[in-house]
């Protein structure tokens, strides 16, 4: 039976995929099926309006190994659209399924519309410098980046949950899982962020931003240079095209130029405030509010005012 399928090994992203899936359901009048490899995740996903949640059960928990099983389910159902979370593993699975189906595939889609019996998808090009529209025939496979959509509201009627046993690829298996040892902070969930750039002269000076973040009850974020070149902050706090994508209520950008590679990771912020000595810095083109000034003078004043 034709339908809309979705999958992501990240339950938060799987929830977000339900929003475009439910919109497509209205256009195509086709049911929405969520695929997951986790029973706890299935229970969470069943409350968000899908017609069915299917748990793919296999002794092998290597996520990439479920690509063939997902292809077979989708193909046997003669389904129309497969939405996959745009993680590294998700994109690998999506490309595998699209190749097996000989179907069109769009990566990092941001807008989806049913047009003339096919799917018109808008995607970002060149790190956010341009938008591209691509039309693909059905069946189609699309990947969607985290936080492109908000998760839908809970449904009054929970979805049916079905468990099926599948044969996952056994060439790779998951052995021991070891924690990365990072701070455990998820800046993508923060409502307020203070982001720091290379205008800070030394690592110890980040204390100015830390004090401001504490006064705002915000988390600290940074540019790629601060995390990967200077190693002043963990990679988990890096915002940008190859880092984290964030959508806080407040994004306070301190001492960063605002190059497109960084802004693609924070452009969804509700309010962007910039502090920079260079009035012509690109960050001011994206900012809702800006302060042209030396961060070493401005940050202590802001912190003191917030603490009153």
Gap between the Cα atoms of 157 and 160, Å rounded = 9
Tokens of 103: 């179907």
Q: In the predicted model, what is the mean pLDDT of the chain?
A: 92
In this predicted model, what pLDDT tens digit does every residue of 76-116 receive, in sequence order? 999 999 999 999 999 999 999 999 999 999 999 999 999 98
| Listed residue (151, 143, 32) closest to 87, CA to CA | 143
In this predicted model, what pLDDT tens digit does every residue of 19-35 receive, in sequence order? 999 999 999 999 999 99
Q: Is the pLDDT of residue 209 over 70?
A: yes
| Listed residue (278, 282, 306, 280) closest to 294, CA to CA | 278
Mean pLDDT for 147-168 is: 90
pLDDT score, position 172: 85
Return the CATH number of the domain spanning residue range 4-165: 3.40.50.620
pLDDT score, position 147: 86
Q: Select the more confidently predicted residue: 151 or 126.
A: 151
In this predicted model, what pLDDT tens digit does every residue of 220-276 receive, in sequence order? 999 999 999 999 999 999 999 888 889 999 999 999 999 988 998 998 899 999 999
| Listed residue (263, 243, 245, 261) closest to 253, CA to CA | 263
Gap between the Cα atoms of 28 and 116, Å rounded = 11
In this predicted model, what pLDDT tens digit does every residue of 164-208 receive, in sequence order? 999 888 888 888 878 766 556 889 889 999 999 999 999 999 999
Q: 3-class secondary structure for the chain?
A: CCCEEEECCCHHHHHHHHHHHHHHHHHHCCCEEEEECCHHHHHHHCCCCCCEEEEEECCCCCHHHHHHHHHHHHHHCCCCEEEEECCHHHHHHHHHHHHHHCCEEECCEEEEEEECCEEEEEEEEHHHCEEEEEEECCCEEEEECCCCCCCCCCCCCCCEEEEEECCCCCCCCCCCCCCCCCCCCCHHHCCEEEEECCCCCCHHHHHHHHHHHHHHCCEEEECHHHHHHCCCCCHHHEECCCCECCCCCEEEEECCCCCHHHHCCCCCCCEEEEEECCCCCCHHHHCCEEEECCHHHHHHHHHHHHHC
Burial of residue 169 (number of CB atoms within 10 Å: 0-12, 13-18, 19+): middle
Gap between the Cα atoms of 206 and 45, Å rounded = 40
Residue 308 makes CB contacts below 8 A (sequence gap 6+) with none
Gap between the Cα atoms of 24 and 206, Å rounded = 46
Q: Which CATH number does the domain 187-307 belong to among 3.30.1180.10, 3.40.50.1220, 3.40.30.10, 3.20.20.80? A: 3.40.50.1220
The radius of gyration of the chain from alpha carbons, rounded to an integer in Å, stands at 22
Burial of residue 76 (number of CB atoms within 10 Å: 0-12, 13-18, 19+): exposed
Q: Where are the domains of the chain?
A: 4-165, 187-307
pLDDT score, position 127: 67
pLDDT score, position 241: 84
pLDDT score, position 49: 93
The pTM (predicted TM-score) of the whole model is 0.83
Do the two domains 4-165 and 187-307 of this chain adopt the same fold? yes
CA distances, 97 to each of 83, 122, 131, 269 (Å): 11, 21, 25, 33
Q: Is the pLDDT of residue 282 over 80?
A: yes
Residue 133 makes CB contacts below 8 A (sequence gap 6+) with 120, 121, 122
């Amino acid at each position: 039976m034709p339908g809309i399928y979705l999958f992501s090994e990240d339950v938060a992203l799987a929830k977000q995929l339900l929003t475009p899936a439910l919109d497509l359901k209205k256009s195509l009048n086709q049911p929405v099926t969520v695929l997951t490899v986790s029973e706890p995740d299935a229970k969470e996903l069943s409350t968000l309006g899908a017609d069915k949640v299917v748990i793919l059960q296999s002794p092998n928990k290597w996520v990439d190994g479920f690509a063939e099983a997902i292809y077979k389910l989708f193909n046997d159902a003669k389904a129309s659209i497969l939405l996959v979370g745009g993680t590294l593993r998700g994109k690998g699975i999506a490309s595998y399924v699209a190749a097996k189906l000989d179907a069109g595939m769009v990566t990092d889609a941001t807008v989806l519309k049913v047009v003339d019996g096919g799917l018109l998808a808008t995607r970002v090009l060149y790190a956010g410098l341009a938008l591209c529209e691509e039309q693909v025939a059905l069946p189609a496979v699309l990947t969607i980046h985290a936080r492109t959509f908000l998760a839908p509201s809970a449904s009054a009627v929970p979805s049916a949950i079905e468990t099926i046993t599948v044969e996952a690829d056994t060439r790779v298996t998951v052995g021991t899982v070891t924690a990365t040892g990072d701070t455990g902070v998820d800046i993508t969930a923060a409502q307020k962020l203070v982001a720091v750039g290379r205008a800070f002269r030394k690592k110890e000076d980040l204390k100015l931003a830390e004090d401001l973040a504490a006064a705002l009850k915000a988390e600290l974020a940074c540019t790629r240079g601060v995390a990967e070149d200077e190693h002043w902050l963990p990679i988990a706090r890096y915002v940008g095209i190859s880092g984290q994508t964030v959508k806080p209520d407040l994004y306070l950008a301190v001492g960063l130029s605002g190059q497109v590679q960084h802004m693609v990771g924070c452009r969804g912020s509700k309010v962007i405030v910039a502090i920079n000595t260079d009035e012509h810095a690109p960050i001011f083109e994206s900012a809702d509010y800006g302060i042209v000034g030396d961060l070493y003078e401005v940050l202590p004043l802001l912190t003191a005012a917030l603490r009153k």
